[in-house]
Amino acid sequence: MEMTAAALWLNTAFAGLDEWAAVAVHRLYELAPGFFTPFLTLITYMGKGGIFLILLSFALMMFRPTRRYGTAMLLAVAIGALITNLTVKPLVARPRPYTWEGSVYKEYWIMLGRHTESDKSFPSGHMTAAMAASTAVFLCGRRKISWTAFFFAFFMGVSRIYLSVHYTSDVLGGVITGGIGGVAGYFVSLRIPGWFYEGDAKDLLPGYKQQGRHQAAPRDTVSQDTAREEAAPEETKEIVIDGEHFSDLRGFYAEISSALGLPEDKRVGNMDALSDVLRGGFVEGDAIAKKIRWLHSEKSRVDLGFDATAAHWERMLRKVPEANREKVQKRLDDAREGKGPTLFDSLTRLISRAEDCTLSLE
């Protein structure tokens, strides 16, 4: 069988690992074929064409609390498919393991139902999609819990080796390409404007573009002078932010910007800007007293806890001047050890201390 130089190198360099892992995974069949064969077959079908993961992504995008997960997953799976199916597979063109007559792979493949695949073997497209989706979920969620997403990727890899449709080295290749796709999808999702994550599902449809929650409040269309006449300084304005609408600091800033009715060019993106907005009101010179109700604050306390705080200071450490690195490093070390104020603590303190502003945690 004629092969590319890359395929020939893979078959030679990983021959020992591939055969050892195939024999080891086949022990599952010997232990309990009635359980492992249907279970791992189901797992492998969940990765076929990425259809299940794409549908799951769209389902998650329908709900505000999970929209960021669905968006990152969809982008991750798409990027992983571009890398694997449209680039690496055609270039390497490695034949499937079951195509080798007389091999242990062919024997296992026949024994487990002759599952055929139409494209080449390296890297595994199923594994790429599963790893991309799992990585995106891991990065979007709380790391102490979200790491469990990798169980799906793990079982996907086992299923491809078990059914003898991939070498172990194909699966490892999918781990790499899927990991790249997952990281890329996550970071691309961070570049999407906050209103996309904070609006109702119907607001994202073409007919509702101007009606979503992300749009500035109607008072933005009124001149500042008229606004001041309509709202006397002694009036108290109630602001409601909902912890169910966001799960990270970026989402919080989008939520409170929308709740305050800030125009796009005045939306807050850091604590200094938030402090300025709270001191100045909704528009420059506005002195309306504000009562801020933070709904589902306990969820936010967890979302913006020590894990998120450590991640925040890690990002800051890469940006700050050398003179400030020691102070930022100290805060990072404290957050990793579960000490010091969290992002939630800092935000609630900032809001509570703002003049003419009260905070109610609910």
| Encoded amino acid at 45, one letter | Y
In which element (H, E) is residue 349 found?
A: helix 343-353
State the pLDDT confidence band at 4, using cuts at 50, 70 and 90.
Answer: very high
pLDDT at position 20: 95
- For residues 64 and 203, the model is more confident at 64
Q: Of 121-125, 202-206, 303-307, 318-322, give the lowest mean pLDDT range.
A: 202-206
Q: Sign (positive/negative) of CA torsion 238, 239, 243, 249?
A: negative
**Phi and psi torsions of 338, nearest 5°:** 75, 30
Looking at the DSSP assignment, which residues form a beta bridge with residue 237?
Answer: 290
Domains and CATH numbers, the chain: 5-192 (1.20.144.10), 220-305+342-361 (3.30.370.10)
Would you state the structure tokens that stand for residue 66, as one six-digit string? 């999970």
- For residues 226 and 345, the model is more confident at 345
- Residues 312 and 310: their CA atoms lie apart, in Å, by 5
Q: How many CB atoms lie within 10 A of CB 211?
A: 13
pLDDT at position 203: 59
**Beta strands 289-295; 236-242: pairing state:** parallel
